[in-house]
């Protein structure tokens, strides 16, 4: 059986198209907190999102504080392509390391780690309460402002009435 040039070209073209289709390998898409970020609000969980749907069991995420102690609560939740773990209250400022092993059906495990920086929030001192003399002063100063604003509004109204009467007179004489 002889293969013509056209058939050979079509076969070669079809094979080259299949070689252009990228292999679907699992890779990391997103992390929460964002890898390398600095946050002053303690996160309550850490999440890692992959490119391919994850298996329900066998995934691992561990979070350690700057001293090397685990701060994750071990409760791992898988939601299709995302896996998360709850955190205990973060009290130490510093760099936290998140390590993960993600499993998918028919793929090699996706292993890796990332860090985020937690800066414990500064202690905010309450604002001083105003004394009674301060509120009395502000009430008297706002009274003068109120009178001024009301006077401006009355003046603006009188100008508006005057302009409307003048415009009426102009259009009436035409």
Model confidence pLDDT, tens digit, residues 32-69: 898 899 988 888 899 998 888 888 888 899 999 999 99
Q: Assess if residue 105 is contained within a domain.
A: yes
Q: Which domain holds residue 142?
A: 131-174
pLDDT greater at residue 150 or residue 174? 150
Rounded CA Rg of the chain: 35
Pair (52, 77) in one structural domain: yes
54: which 2 tokens? 């994850």
User: Structure pTM?
Assistant: 0.55
Q: Assess if residue 4 is contained within a domain.
A: no
Pair (112, 29) in one structural domain: yes
Evaluate if residue 17 carries a pLDDT over 60: no
Question: What is the distance, to the nearest Å, from the Cα of residue 77 to the centroid of all Cα atoms in its chain?
Answer: 20
CATH number for 104: 2.60.40.1220
Boundary residue ending a domain (96, 118, 140): 118
- 8 A C-beta contact, residue 28 and residue 47: no
């Amino acid at each position: 059986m002889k293969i013509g040039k056209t058939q050979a070209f079509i076969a070669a073209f079809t094979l080259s198209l299949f070689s252009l289709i990228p292999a679907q390998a699992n890779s990391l898409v997103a992390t929460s907190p964002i890898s390398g970020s600095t946050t002053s609000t303690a996160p309550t969980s850490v999440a890692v999102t992959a490119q391919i749907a994850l298996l329900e069991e066998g995934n691992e995420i561990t979070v350690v504080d700057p001293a090397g102690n685990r701060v994750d609560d071990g409760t791992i939740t898988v939601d299709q392509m995302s896996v998360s773990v709850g955190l205990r209250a973060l009290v130490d400022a510093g760099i936290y390391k998140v390590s993960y092993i993600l499993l998918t059906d028919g793929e090699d495990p996706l292993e890796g780690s990332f860090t985020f920086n937690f800066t414990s929030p500064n202690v905010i001192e309450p604002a001083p309460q105003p004394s009674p003399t301060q509120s009395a002063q502000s009430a008297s100063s706002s009274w003068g402002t109120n009178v001024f604003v009301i006077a401006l509004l009355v003046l603006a109204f009188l100008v508006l009435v005057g302009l409307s009467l003048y415009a009426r007179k102009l259009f009436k004489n035409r």
